[in-house]
Amino acid sequence: MAAPGNHPAAPPPLPGPCPRLSPRGAAPSVAARPHSLPTALLRPTSPRAASAARCRASGRASPARAQGPPPAEAVPPPRRPGARRRLSAAAARRAGAMAAEGDVFLRARGRTLTAFRQDDEYQWKGPFYFIQGADPQFGLMKAWAVGDTNNGDDEWGEEIKLAEQAVQAINKLNPKPKFFVLCGDLIHGMPETQWRKDQEQDLKNVLKNTDQDIPLVFVSGNHDIGNTPTRETIDNYCKNWGDDYFSFWVGGVFFLVLNSQLYFDSSKCPELKQAQDVWLNEQLAVAEKHKCKHIIVFQHIPLFLRKPDEDHDYFNLEKSVRQEIMEKFHKAGVKAVFSGHYHRNAGGSYRGLEMVVSSAIGCQLGEDTHGLRVVVVTDENIVHRYYSLNELSSQGIEKELLDMLAKQN
């Protein structure tokens, strides 16, 4: 979901606003934090230092210091064997922990997802499931409530709570999902806007608590790279969240993550759209070669909301672009496309290709609740259901879906 005035076509009228937020929970601006040192740290703390300070103030030379050996108590004790090694090991552990935390958000590299060993995932291994979420969009709830989606995103305490609830619900699931994919609009602040970095950091602080055995998969949305992306905005996204498009295999199923903004408006980076097109054709050929069980696509903007021939507006792709992609996917045997962007649940089909539009973790623009979609992949089908966060937290996955997972082929 993007801000009115920042896109070619205005969205249709939407249902009522999200509830007004309490100012509590908003992340403080970095600029508002003082950086001056306490006055006590600027004062001399010893008689010798005080004397030297008085001499400097009066212009007199400081008293000469004795050049003899230091007193015995000033001589440091000999270094214990291995002390340096232990210190280095501790520093290495800290650095490793920091690097591991960063890697959680940067597993999409080299146009693949490093969380899975590709050679181990070509073959079908039986039913599994994953979790799809969309549009946590830190900052939109306040912006929508006050009617200022360009500059009103200075609070996101409610979104933090919702994202925490989503992570906690996912961590409780048994068996564990294969991965958790977020289909774009991670935060509301557009590139170069005031609160963007704070929103990104707060979202990472929540997501890093996801069970380490459940890889995170990120999809770029219009608020992540801009309504009209540039090479710079895409590069900045990749530095924070990994590649903007890539592929990976899980249990014989081939997954494609696409940058749908390049299909919406690539006027400032046409060469990047062309590169994605070439790459996509190559990947679909790879899927054919390996005879994958299913092909599933993730992107932010839906191809369509309900009907393949519906009119173009802000929430879907332009009709000629849409038709070309749908036909390409149909010929390649793509089974389903999962997206977000609409902040409501929707969907339809085109010649056996299912278009699944999931509502938001964050701000709702319709009658749905904050939630996540559970997607079960079986030998023959892809079965999915949208759960409210409260329902998934309290009840977990329903028995019908669990029975599908328990069935071995």
pLDDT tens per residue, range 258-317: 999 999 999 999 999 999 999 999 999 999 998 899 999 999 999 999 999 999 999 999
Q: Let me know: does 329 contact 289? Beta carbons within 8 Å.
A: no
- Predicted pLDDT at 316: 98
Q: Which two tokens stand for residue 204?
A: 């990472």
pLDDT of 105 over the 70 cut:
yes
Which residue from 116, 131, 180 is spatially nearest to 401, judged by alpha carbons? Answer: 131
pLDDT of 102 over the 90 cut:
no
What pTM does this model have?
A: 0.78
Q: Which two tokens stand for residue 16?
A: 């009522």
Q: How far apart are CA 115 and CA 130, in angstroms?
A: 14
Across the chain, what does the average pLDDT equal? 83
Q: Let me know: does 350 contact 326? Beta carbons within 8 Å.
A: yes
Q: How far apart are CA 83 and CA 97, in angstroms?
A: 21
pLDDT above 70: percentage of residues in the chain: 75
pLDDT tens by residue, 339-357: 999 999 999 999 999 999 9
User: Among 35-49, 73-87, 268-282, 351-365, which is the least confidently predicted range?
Assistant: 35-49
Q: How far apart are CA 156 and CA 277, in angstroms?
A: 36
pLDDT of 99 over the 70 cut:
no
- Predicted pLDDT at 349: 98
SS3 19: coil
SS3 287: helix
pLDDT band at 43 (very low <50, low <70, confident <90, very high): very low
Average pLDDT over residues 133-139: 98
Q: How far apart are CA 224 and CA 219, in angstroms?
A: 9
- Predicted pLDDT at 222: 98
